[in-house]
C-alpha cells in the first residue's frame, strides 16, 4: 500500500511539473522582445487552445484531473497580464467550467459552483467587446435581447461556453433569487446561439436547450416534448457518438418523464459504446461512461420499484 501511495504521489508531481514547465515556456515566450509582444500573445493563445485540444483527446481522466489545476492557474496569470485577450478569456471560461463539471460537480458541489461562477465571469468579460454583458444581464430582458442581436457567428464560441458556465452556475444556486432571475437571460442567450450556429460543438446548443427545458418545472416554462426535440437534434449533429449527450438525456429527460426503462436503456448503451470516435471527444466519452455508472447506481433512488 505504501508503494502504491508513493507511486501515486510521484505521478501527481509529474503531472503538476508538466503543466508548470508548459506554463514557464509560455511565459518565456511572452517576455521576449517587447516590439512584437502582440504577436507573442496571439501565439500563446493558440498554444492554450492546443493544450485544451490535447486534453480532450486523453483517455485517462486521472492525468487531466491532476494537471488541470496548474493549467487554470496559468490561465489566471496570463489574463492578469493580458486582461483584454478574448481567446484567453474564452479558454479560461471553458477550462474552469469543464473541470468543475467533469471532476467536482458530483462530489464537491460547493467548489464546482465557485468555479462555475469564475468561468461565467470570464465568459461575460469575453463577450464585453460589443456590450457590457454583465451590466446588460442585470438590466431589462428587452435591452439584453437587443444586445444579443449585435453578436454574430464569430461570437458563437464565447456565447456557447459562457452559456454553459452560466447554466451550471444557476443549477448550483437554483434556490437563490439571483439564479432564478437569470433564467430568462440564459434562455435568450441559448436561443441566440441556436440562431447563429446550432451545429456548434456537435450540436452543443441543442444539448444546452434540451437540458434547460427538461430541468425547469412546467410552471416556469419547462417543456419536456420540446426538450426531447432538442436532445434528438444534438444526437443528430453528434452522430450519436457524443456519449455525454445521451447521459444528460437519461438524467434530465428520462427522469423527467419518469421512464425507468428508457433511463436504464440509454445508460447501458453508453456503458458499451466506444469512446474514441470522434477523437476530440475521447475524454468526454470516458467521463460520460463514469457518470452513466453513477446514475445507474441511483436508479432505485430515482424510480423506486416503479417499472
DSSP for 139-165, please give it: S-HHHHHHHHTT--GGGHHHHHHHHHH
Q: Are 224 and 256 in contact (CB under 8 A)?
A: yes
Residue-level pLDDT at 69: 92
Strands (E), the chain: none
Quote the CA–CA distance of 119 and 92 in Å, as a whole number: 7
Quote the CA–CA distance of 119 and 219 in Å, as a whole number: 29
Nearest alpha carbon to residue 258 among 219, 297, 226, 305: 305
pLDDT (tens, 9 = 90+) of the chain, 307 residues, equals 434 434 343 444 444 444 444 444 444 444 444 444 555 666 666 677 777 778 888 899 898 899 899 899 989 988 998 899 999 999 999 999 999 999 998 889 899 999 999 999 999 999 999 999 999 999 999 999 999 999 999 999 999 999 999 999 999 998 899 999 999 999 999 999 999 999 999 999 999 999 999 999 998 999 999 999 999 999 999 999 999 999 999 999 999 999 999 999 999 999 999 999 888 899 999 999 999 999 999 999 999 865 4
State the cell numbers at 183: 433564467
Residue 47 belongs to some domain of the structure: no
Cα–Cα distance list, 275 to 90, 99, 232, 243 (Å):
26, 19, 20, 8
Q: Are 278 and 241 in contact (CB under 8 A)?
A: yes
Q: Are 127 and 133 in contact (CB under 8 A)?
A: yes
Quote the CA–CA distance of 147 and 133 in Å, as a whole number: 8
Residue 18 belongs to some domain of the structure: no
End-to-end CA distance of the chain: 44
Residue-level pLDDT at 52: 79
CB atoms within 10 A of CB 37: 14
Q: Are 253 and 233 in contact (CB under 8 A)?
A: no
Residue 15 belongs to some domain of the structure: no
Residue-level pLDDT at 21: 42
Distance of CA 269 to the CA centre of its chain: 23
Residue 113 belongs to some domain of the structure: no
**Kindly report the CA angle at 215 between 212 and 221, in degrees rounded to 5?**
70
Residue 288 belongs to some domain of the structure: yes
CA-atom Rg of the chain in angstroms: 20
Residue-level pLDDT at 43: 65
The alpha helices in the chain, defined as continuous H runs, are 2-30, 37-56, 61-81, 86-99, 109-126, 133-137, 141-148, 156-172, 177-197, 200-215, 224-237, 243-248, 255-256, 260-272, 282-297, 299-303
Residue 202 belongs to some domain of the structure: no
Residue 233 belongs to some domain of the structure: yes
Quote the CA–CA distance of 273 and 231 in Å, as a whole number: 18
- Residue appearing with cell numbers 441559448: 190
CA dihedral 230, 233, 235, 239 (to 10 degrees): -170
Instruction: Show the domain range for 277.
Output: 226-307
Q: How many domains does the chain have?
A: 1
Residue-level pLDDT at 173: 93
Residue 304 belongs to some domain of the structure: yes
Residue-level pLDDT at 179: 94
Residue-level pLDDT at 29: 40
Cis peptide preceding 278, ω within 30 of 0: yes
Quote the CA–CA distance of 241 and 235 in Å, as a whole number: 8
Amino acid at each position: 500500500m505504501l508503494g502504491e501511495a508513493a507511486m501515486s504521489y510521484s505521478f501527481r508531481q509529474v503531472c503538476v511539473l508538466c503543466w508548470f514547465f508548459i506554463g514557464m515556456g509560455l511565459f518565456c515566450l511572452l517576455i521576449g522582445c517587447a516590439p512584437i509582444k502582440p504577436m507573442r500573445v496571439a501565439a500563446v493563445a493558440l498554444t492554450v487552445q492546443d493544450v485544451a485540444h490535447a486534453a480532450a483527446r486523453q483517455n485517462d481522466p486521472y492525468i487531466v484531473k491532476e494537471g488541470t489545476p496548474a493549467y487554470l492557474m496559468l490561465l489566471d496569470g496570463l489574463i492578469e497580464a493580458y486582461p483584454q485577450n478574448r481567446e484567453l478569456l474564452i479558454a479560461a471560461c471553458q477550462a474552469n467550467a469543464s473541470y468543475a463539471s467533469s471532476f467536482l460537480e458530483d462530489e464537491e458541489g460547493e467548489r464546482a459552483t465557485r468555479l462555475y461562477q469564475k468561468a461565467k465571469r470570464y465568459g461575460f468579460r469575453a463577450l464585453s467587446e460589443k456590450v457590457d454583458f454583465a451590466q446588460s444581464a442585470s438590466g431589462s430582458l428587452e435591452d439584453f435581447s437587443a444586445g444579443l442581436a449585435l453578436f454574430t457567428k464569430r461570437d458563437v464560441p464565447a456565447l456557447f461556453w459562457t452559456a454553459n458556465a452560466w447554466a451550471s452556475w444557476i443549477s448550483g444556486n437554483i434556490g437563490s433569487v439571483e439564479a432564478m432571475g437569470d433564467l430568462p437571460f440564459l434562455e435568450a442567450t441559448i436561443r441566440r446561439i441556436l440562431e447563429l450556429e446550432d451545429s456548434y460543438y456537435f450540436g452543443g446548443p441543442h444539448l444546452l436547450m434540451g437540458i434547460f427545458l427538461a430541468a425547469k418545472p412546467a410552471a416556469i416554462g419547462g417543456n419536456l416534448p420540446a426538450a426531447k426535440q432538442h436532445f434528438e437534434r444534438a444526437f443528430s449533429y453528434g452522430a450519436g457518438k457524443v456519449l455525454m449527450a445521451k447521459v444528460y438525456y437519461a438524467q434530465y429527460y428520462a427522469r423527467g418523464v419518469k421512464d425507468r426503462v428508457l433511463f436504464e436503456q440509454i445508460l447501458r448503451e453508453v456503458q458499451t459504446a466506444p469512446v474514441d470516435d470522434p477523437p476530440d471527444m475521447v475524454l468526454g466519452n470516458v467521463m460520460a461512461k463514469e457518470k452513466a455508472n453513477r446514475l445507474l447506481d441511483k436508479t432505485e433512488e430515482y424510480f423506486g420499484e416503479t417499472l
